[in-house]
Each structure stands twice: as structure tokens, then as C-alpha cells.
Amino acid sequence: MNSSIILSVITFVYGLAGVLYMVSLIFKTDFPGKLASLVTMVAITGNITGIILRWIESYKLGFGHAPLSNLYESLTFFSLSIACLYIFIEIRYKNRTISTFSSALVFLAMAYASLSPDISSHIQPLIPALKSNWLIAHVLTCFLGYAGFAVAFAISFLFLISKIGGQPGEGILSHVPESDMLDELTHQMVMFGFFFLSIGIITGAVWANSAWGRYWGWDPKETWSLITWFIYAILLHARLMRGWRGSRIAMISIVGFAAVIFTYFGVNYLSGLHSYGSIK
């Protein structure tokens, strides 16, 4: 069994966890939620196993490198990062509602990686521009940042639903955390994501200087990374300096994640020095 098969199976394990979380939320019963947490742990273990095995397989093929070089590999790591973050929040705050929405993002990312005919799961040698010790540092930090923003998006979405749907404690919202907790968790996840995205941009600039002889060149990926950074900088400024809370912060968080998605996927279809990360 190779890494691609393991990661494909893990896609459905994440999907099962998401269904169990949703059943627990809708029917307000605890057992499916506990089972969902266990299934998520199994999926995380399998996800890590698949990534490590893929790394080993690359060495066996004669061009060993960290499995972070194309869209398929980045999606599997992105999914793992989101899952680890939401299960940490679930354990820390003893609440599975956030996991319900976050697990959907994980399943969609893994399903796109494993099931889309446009994405190749084949292990390929690195192109010259990617042969650098900065690869791991840059990609890891960027996608940890993206994962933080993804969880912040899920929390913000839940916050707005709770505001529209009625008072917490009623119906399906009975397990939704208080608005103040959701607001604070959004802030924490945005700070987490902002910290790692900042490091990712810095390491990317250093890498660009060694690979292309300049720190910044307004490549589409670079430009949209900076736009995303500014959106979340505005969010943090509005909260810390202007005292914004609640729905306004949630809306900026959602806009910020839309920028993340475009930075991740959209600009891959534009010509530029990062076009090697498009599909294959």
C-alpha cells in the first residue's frame, strides 16, 4: 500500500468524522461526537503516516524531498494542519461544535486532492527553483498560517449563524459556545495564522533572493500573499486599536479567508514564478 492509497482512504475517514460531528450536533447526543473525535484522531494518524511514507517513497525513487512541492502534497498537509488545530480547540474547550464546521473544510481539501482528475498524486522530482533548504520552512509556515485562518473562518461562520439563528441554548444552537468565546477564538486563530503567514512571507523573500536574485518581485502569488496579510492586519488593528468585536470581526475573517483561497488556488492559474505550483 503506497502513500496515495492511504491518503485517499483517509479522505473518507475525515468525511466519516464530519458526518458523526453533524449527527451529534443535530440530534444533540454525545456518543456520535465522542466517536467523531476518535475517528478524527485516527484520520490525523493516517494523514501523518501517509505524508511520512510519501517522503520515504520519494527517496526510493532517487529524488528524495519533503512532500510539500505541489498542490496535492500541500493539500494533504493543509488538511492535517486544520485537523490538528480543531481537535486541539475541541479538547481545550470541551466543545465539538467548532469541529463540526472545521471538519467539513478538511474533508473538502482532502477530497479535492484525492478525487479531482486535475490533480496528480504522482511523486515528481523537484524543479531547480524548489531545490532549497528554505522549501520546508517556507511551505510549513505558510500552510500553518492558512490553517489558522481556515479555523478562524469556521468559527466566524458559526458566530454569524448563531446570531442569525436565534439565542444560544435553543434548538441546534444548544451546543454552540457563547458569542464572547467564539469572538475570542476567532481572534486567537487569526493571531496564530498571522504569525505564521508573516514568517512564511519572510522566509519566502529570503528564498526568492537566493533563487531569483531579488527579495520581492510582485509575482501574483507574492502580491496576493501581501493582500491577505494586510486584510488580517486590518482585522487585528480594528480589534486591538478600535475595539471592534463580534460580527464585524467575523465578516473581516471571512473576507480574509476568501483572499487565502484565491492566494492558494486562484493565482496558480496566472502566469508567474509560482506557476509551478499550479496543478500537477
d(CA 103, CA 158): 13
Q: What is the pLDDT of residues 61-75, one digit of tens each?
A: 998 899 998 899 999
d(CA 234, CA 230): 6
d(CA 54, CA 110): 15
Label residue 276 by pLDDT band (50, 70, 90). very low
Q: For position 34, what pLDDT does the model report?
A: 96
Among 62-71, 161-170, 211-220, 269-278, which range has the highest average pLDDT?
62-71
Q: What is the pLDDT of residues 11-25, one digit of tens each?
A: 999 999 999 999 999
Tell me how long the chain is: 280
Q: For position 144, what pLDDT does the model report?
A: 97
Q: For position 170, what pLDDT does the model report?
A: 57
Is the pLDDT at 192 greater than 90, yes or no?
yes
d(CA 244, CA 125): 48
Q: What is the pLDDT of residues 38-52, one digit of tens each?
A: 999 999 999 999 999
Which amino acid is it at 16?
Answer: L
Average pLDDT on 30-40 reads 97
Contact 156, 258 (CB under 8 A): no
Q: For position 129, what pLDDT does the model report?
A: 72
**Tell me, what DSSP letter sits at residue 268?**
G
Packing angle of the helix pair 97-115, 3-27 (nearest 10 deg):
150
d(CA 136, CA 207): 11
Q: For position 216, what pLDDT does the model report?
A: 83
Is the pLDDT at 278 greater than 80, yes or no?
no
Q: For position 259, what pLDDT does the model report?
A: 97
Label residue 133 by pLDDT band (50, 70, 90). confident
Among 246, 96, 84, smallest CA distance to 176 is for 96
Q: For position 211, what pLDDT does the model report?
A: 75
Which of 62-66, 138-142, 169-173, 241-245 bottoms out in mean pLDDT, i.e. has the lowest?
169-173
Q: What is the dihedral of CA 250, 256, 262, 264, to 10 degrees?
A: -110
pLDDT over 90 for what percent of the chain? 70
Coil, strand or helix at 94 = coil
Label residue 214 by pLDDT band (50, 70, 90). confident
Q: For position 280, what pLDDT does the model report?
A: 44
Contact 274, 70 (CB under 8 A): no
Which of 141-145, 167-171, 177-181 bottoms out in mean pLDDT, i.e. has the lowest?
167-171
| pTM for the predicted model, two decimal places | 0.93
Max intra-chain CA distance, the chain: 59
